[in-house]
Structure 1
Amino acid sequence: MALIVLWDIDHTLIDNAGVSKEIYGAAFEAVAQRRPSGPAVTEGRTDRLIMREMFDRDGLARPGWDTVQAALEAAGSERFEELQRRGSALPGVRDALTALADEPGIISSVLTGNIAPNARLKLAAFELDGLVDLSVGAYGADHLERAALVAVARDRIHRAYAVPAGTPVALVGDTPRDVEAALTSGVQIIAVASGVHAAHALHEAGADVVLPDLINTGVLLSHFSRISGTQS
């Protein structure tokens, strides 16, 4: 089948066990030289937007993005072992990624709000990084809004692979922002109720397909076959 699959990371592929919010808090403190007034609000936001909102909420001037990105990368690197200790790959994820990696014609990458170094780190913590092509993913440094990342990933994939312009795209994610990104960009969404958002909230956001988890690889592959137009 010919298909591009773009995976969200946090709460779709891995459980970060709260380490992500610790990364944002530490990055904020490193730049602002004071603790934030509260935890980061994530829920599918990009790192650019998360950090901007933290500085705005605390009434501080927005620092340059290069400074913020360096602080995020340092905070992530410092917490790699903590992520390994507390977090985990979600059930079924390794089998699902492996199945796609072995499927001819499928390009499997990520569309995530994380900056690229932290995305790689989160997947490497559970030995998932070799199962997707991270070089063509879209990341939280690429744009403020998640929906704009679809075009970024598409462009990188089309430049790296000889795929037809009309190759279908499927996003897999756990938040209404993932659903919005897909619908806004005219691509397919497979929502997974493995994060904080229940299935009904994902349906209400516009997702036709909502899975409870990624345990059933056969069901997942069936949805991908339908999206690619190869299902009999």
Structure 2
Amino acid sequence: MLWNVDLTLLDVGRVMRAAHAEAFEEVTGDPLVYLTSAEGRTDSEMFFEFCARNDTDVEPDNATLERFLSALEAAFVRRADELPAKGRVMPGAEASLAAVAGMPDTVQTVVSGSTRATATAKLRAFGLDSYLDLSVGGFGSVNYPKSSLIQSIRLHAAGEGGHTYAEGETVLFTSSVPDVRAAVIGGATPVAVLTGSATEGQLREAGATEVLEDLTDPRAVMTAVHRATTP
């Protein structure tokens, strides 16, 4: 069971945008004037687009990316105490995490565009990390698209007896169209929630098998998981 973090489980966009701006200026020496959409994107992908859209002479290579991700983690951690006031848990997220955690033979983790340290800080600030096995999560710490992160989790998250989860046993909950597409490519069944900017039609067209209004009904969440994993 895979969860997208931002706008699916929680919303810390205000703090994340400030951290992006600080890290970008620290690494490039230039202000981050033009942002880009974070939905379905990793921090690595966003950095290269920041460089393309903003007037900077810094070469956006892998070495620069590593410095940016390190600076971003530090900038976000410095703002961790702002999260309760400037961020929020999405309605029903904690109850749904708790419900899915109680399902038999289920490993529950995240696919996040943020680095492992940043994603963990987000979840820990609201007490959501205790429901998740973050050791097998997929994170934007590496310069891979989310579809590759999903494939990596699916192939390496071993269950009882060293069982490797097949495509039909893997579900991704997300609120973004790019994540739905990534799930289809990465071998997971996408279930969408209407807590982001996408409409139900857009999510279904991208490949979502089911679309929920939100996560406030844990029984509906568990039913969606059951349907997605039942041949």
TM-score when normalising by structure 2: 0.91
Amino acid at match of 2:226: S
Partner Cα separation in structure 2 for residue 229 and residue 42 of structure 1: 32
Q: Which residue of 2 aligns with 1:131?
A: 131
Identity of aligned residues (%): 31
Deviation at 1:160, TM superposition (A): 9.7
Q: After the TM superposition, which residues 81-92 of structure 1 pair with which residues of structure 2 at under 5 Å, given as runs?
A: 81-92=81-92
d(CA) in 2 for partners of 1:145, 1:160: 28
Tell me, which stretches of 5 or more residues in structure 2 are unaligned? none
Q: What is the identity, as a one-letter code, of the residue corresponding to 2:141?
A: A
Query: Separation in 2 of the partners of 1:99 and 1:178?
Result: 23
Following TM superposition, the consecutive aligned residue runs of length 4 or more in structure 1 with deviations greater than 4 angstroms are none
Report the counterpart of residue 206 of structure 1 in structure 2: 207
- Report how many aligned residue pairs link the two structures: 226
Q: Is the 8 A contact 1:170 1:187 kept in 2?
A: yes
Post-superposition offset of 1:224: 1.0
Q: Is the 8 A contact 1:25 1:40 kept in 2?
A: no
Secondary structure at 1:44 match in 2: coil
The one-letter amino acid of 2:130's match is G
Q: Shift in Å at residue 152 of structure 1?
A: 1.7
Paired residue type of 2:213: P
| CA RMSD in angstroms, aligned pairs only | 1.9
| Structure 1 residues 77 and 36, CA gap change in structure 2 (3 angstroms) | same
Find the counterpart in structure 2 of residue 120 from structure 1.
Answer: 120
TM-score by length of 1: 0.91
Once residues 84 and 160 of structure 1 are traced to their aligned partners in structure 2, the CA distance between those partners, rounded to angstroms, is 36
Partner of 2:12: 16
Superimposed CA distance per residue, residues 128-166 of structure 1 (whole angstroms, 9 cap, x where no aligned partner): 111100010000123331211111212331399722453
3-state DSSP of counterpart to 1:77? helix
Aligned to 1:109: 109
Match of 2:50 in 1: 54
Structure 1 residues not aligned, in runs of 5+: none
Partner of 2:38 in structure 1?
42
Query: As a proportion of its length, which structure holds more helix?
Result: 2
Q: Distance in 2 between matches of 1:70 and 1:110?
A: 21
Separation in structure 2 between the aligned mates of residue 73 and residue 57 of structure 1, nearest angstrom: 22
The 8 Å contact of residues 115 and 140 in structure 2, kept in 1 or not, is answered as yes
Partner of 1:192: 193
Secondary structure at the residue paired with 1:191? strand
